[in-house]
Amino acid sequence: MGLPARSARGAPGRAGWAGRTGRAGRAGRAGRAAGAAGAAGFGFERWGGGFFCENAAGGVSVAPEGEGRGGGAADLCRVAAEARRGAEGWGGPLLLTFPQIAAARARALRGSFASAAARYGYAGRHFAVFPLKASHDRPTLLHLLGKAAPAPTSAEGGSGAAISGLEVGSKAELVAAAALLSRESGHPESEAGGGQMLPLLVCNGAKDADYLDLAARVADSGLAEVFVVLESLEEVTLGATHLRPKPGGALRLGLRARLDTFHAGHFGATSGPRSQFGLGPAEIWRSLEILRRRGSGELFGSLRMLHFHIGSSVPDIRVVKRALREAACLYAECCHAGAPMGWLDVGGGLGVDFGGGGVNYDVDNYANDVVAAVQDICRRKGLTPPALITESGTAVVAHSSVLVAPAHAHRSAMGVADDDESALPGGLGSEIVARSSGEADFLLGTFEEVLRDVSPGRMRESLTDALQLRSEASSLFALGAMTLEQRAAADVHFQRILERVRELGASAGGGGGLEAMSPEVAEILGAEAPFMTLELSVFQSAIDAWGLGQRFPVVPLQRLREEPEIWARLADVTCDSDGRMCSSVGWSAGRAEDCPRGARVHRVAPGEDYQVGIFMVGAYQRAMGSAHNLFGRPLSASVAVDEAGCPTILEVRGGASVEEALAAASSAYSGDLDALTRRDPALGAALGGIRAASTYPTLGGRGTLT
């Protein structure tokens, strides 16, 4: 292991990749030098994919080409400082995206499928398309498509495309895809597909007539082999009315299957027979009938693909296997019904370990099982194995972004119990002056006893006593039997007991010690962890932490040579009580499932420049907040209703047009579209008509079922 000698300018050493060296503490720092479970406990090796590691300066290095693949490495704080300088010192959160990481991940996926095909003697090819909704980051998309300038330089990866095309889920994404695909490439050979094939463009999502027309025009323009995936009987009927695919042309049809297979992951509720997406068995049967009967055979003759997607991040490989077998059988039935088929699109769902476990397979395992399942069914049914399309998003881009946030001690919760007693009424640390009821005196006396008796064998008892006493103090105060000074003293005692237990845990086992404690103790300490304030909005930048309880790896970007002394809950700067991240991952000791709440951080002095990185936020996090599927903001109106029930529209705020949604994703899309229009005026005119339209599809009135 270890990166080759070539290093990035001024990059600090590579303790993490080059073998772990001694862990001397940094001179002048109060913190303890990191022990054996110190920085290593951040679990880079578990989740970092070979792209991140601790460096010799106690920071975190990024090697975007991946460990041992011939690229350079740079310190993240330094990269962040460069980026901020470029933005004239702009503060707040900074999302760093490394397109090379996405390309390396896509190449690894492709390599796994190539190995699996060789292993099982699979005759069909594999094509990885990238789902635009996972990231609209234009440099990343251009990198993946092999159209970036300068060209990607990975010694191992080559300079061509790392993917075979794109998947889109809306009109606006279709326009963006057309803009990206139309860009000149310095290396037109489609490396990922092999040969001179056009890129693939898979059109998913709710479709209206405009969407279908646009997809047909993109196919006519020769930009891509377009698969229009019909997802409901209504879409099948609309497609049958609107689309006129030519035999052997670039416009092909697909059907999206709703599988019975379901899973228990974050998105499991949307899988299985109750999912809102796709066609069940009876609907597939009916769709085949509609397509066969309509037109003069060209519709049925263009039915080339079966698609399914059972949700993002499938945690269990057995579910993947089950889904593949079910889908392969449906595929075989379509073939037996006479459709030409030839392609099976297995969607996304390839799970990624964010460091907390929960995914029981890796990319090789996934590729092997996909290929083996399809091979087996095709052999048994006497069919030529189809070309396989994957739509992996998370697995390709999750690692590629790091959210860098300046961090500060949260004054309301940190330091109350330690040296900052002047901030408390009456110098509470020294002497508690009881001025009221005997109950209050008794309670404070008991609190002191519990504090005195904290010991390694009594950590759990001390904590449960402390919790009980705190709640009694609260009751006494509410009954008027305790002064504010006494109530504050009870809080200080409570904090000191917690602090004492934390210290005992830290000396019993490294890394803050929580892993050495009983789960109950870790649970209480986690729930009572102090806050650290991060300059970010969880809702905007890490929405899955809020919405799904997703645990992201959180790592300080400096001082890793010192033991991080505390576990802290991370509060954002929004004024919402749920604007916080109470969990993170980072264990290397194989006990990530016991991960307590919070993140491991250092004590931060006032004014200290301290930043934390929230890793693996490359998929969906940026897009979900306001640009999901590039829908942009919706139309909104403020309304008053008078006594007679008559509404008055006070203000209407416009929704986003396709053009605005694209501009929000990247100002460069507009230039791409202008260039496309110069090259292909007919397609440009069609795209121009859509650019001013609303991003949302116009559903309903789609014709009746036949």
Ligand X SMILES: Cc1ncc(COP(=O)(O)O)c(C=O)c1O
| Chain residues that interact with ligand X, rule: CB under 6 A | 131, 134, 167, 204, 309, 312-313, 347-350, 391-395, 619
Nearest distance, CB of residue 209 and ligand X, angstroms = 21
Nearest distance, CB of residue 453 and ligand X, angstroms = 51
E-assigned strand segments in 175-283: 200-203, 225-230, 251-256
Nearer to ligand X, 263 or 600 (CB): 263
Nearest to 381 by CA among 324, 322, 330: 330
Q: Distance of CA 529 to CAs 353, 522, 548, 607, Å? A: 25, 10, 21, 22
Nearer to ligand X, 239 or 349 (CB): 349
**Which three-class secondary structure state does DSSP give residue 23?**
coil
The span from the CA of 611 to the CA of 614, in Å, is: 10
Nearer to ligand X, 359 or 525 (CB): 359
Which residue in the block uniquely carries the two structure tokens 């004024």? 575
For residues 160 and 146, the answer to whether their CB atoms sit within 8 Å is yes
Nearer to ligand X, 128 or 440 (CB): 128
Nearer to ligand X, 146 or 393 (CB): 393
Nearest to 139 by CA among 691, 672, 658: 672
Nearest distance, CB of residue 311 and ligand X, angstroms = 7
Nearer to ligand X, 624 or 663 (CB): 624
**Which three-class secondary structure state does DSSP give residue 366?**
helix
Nearest distance, CB of residue 133 and ligand X, angstroms = 6
Nearer to ligand X, 330 or 529 (CB): 330
Which value, to the nearest 10 degrees, does the dihedral of the CA atoms of residues 231, 235, 240, 242 take?
-120
Nearest to 178 by CA among 666, 684, 624, 694: 684
Nearest distance, CB of residue 347 and ligand X, angstroms = 5
For residues 434 and 487, the answer to whether their CB atoms sit within 8 Å is no
For residues 135 and 623, the answer to whether their CB atoms sit within 8 Å is yes
Nearer to ligand X, 391 or 659 (CB): 391
Neighbours of 506 (CB within 10 A): 19
For residues 146 and 184, the answer to whether their CB atoms sit within 8 Å is no
Nearer to ligand X, 129 or 405 (CB): 129
Q: Distance of CA 108 to CAs 283, 433, 464, 480, 542, Å? A: 36, 67, 49, 66, 26
Nearest distance, CB of residue 130 and ligand X, angstroms = 9
**Dihedral over Cα of 551, 552, 553, 556: its sign:** negative
Q: Which residue is nearest to ligand X (CB)?
A: 348
Nearer to ligand X, 263 or 602 (CB): 263
Nearer to ligand X, 205 or 386 (CB): 205
**Which three-class secondary structure state does DSSP give residue 558?**
coil
Q: Distance of CA 576 to CAs 77, 546, 579, 584, Å? A: 28, 11, 5, 20
Nearest distance, CB of residue 174 and ligand X, angstroms = 14
Nearer to ligand X, 231 or 491 (CB): 231
Listed in sequence order, the DSSP H helices in 185-340 are 209-221, 233-242, 281-293, 298-301, 317-336
Nearer to ligand X, 130 or 546 (CB): 130
Nearest distance, CB of residue 556 and ligand X, angstroms = 28
Nearest distance, CB of residue 346 and ligand X, angstroms = 9
Nearest distance, CB of residue 345 and ligand X, angstroms = 9
DSSP secondary-structure letter at 613? E
**Which three-class secondary structure state does DSSP give residue 373?**
helix
Nearest distance, CB of residue 588 and ligand X, angstroms = 26
Nearest distance, CB of residue 128 and ligand X, angstroms = 10
Nearest distance, CB of residue 129 and ligand X, angstroms = 9
Listed in sequence order, the DSSP H helices in 12-124 are 44-47, 76-86, 99-120
Identity at 66, one-letter amino acid code: G
**Which three-class secondary structure state does DSSP give residue 130?**
strand
Burial class (CB in 10 A: 0-12, 13-18, 19+), 347: buried
Q: What is the CA radius of gyration of the chain?
A: 29
Nearer to ligand X, 498 or 617 (CB): 617
Nearest distance, CB of residue 405 and ligand X, angstroms = 24
Contacts of 536 (CB under 8 A, 6+ apart): 92, 93, 403, 405, 542, 572, 573, 614
Nearest distance, CB of residue 473 and ligand X, angstroms = 48
Structure tokens at 685: 């005119």
Nearer to ligand X, 113 or 531 (CB): 113
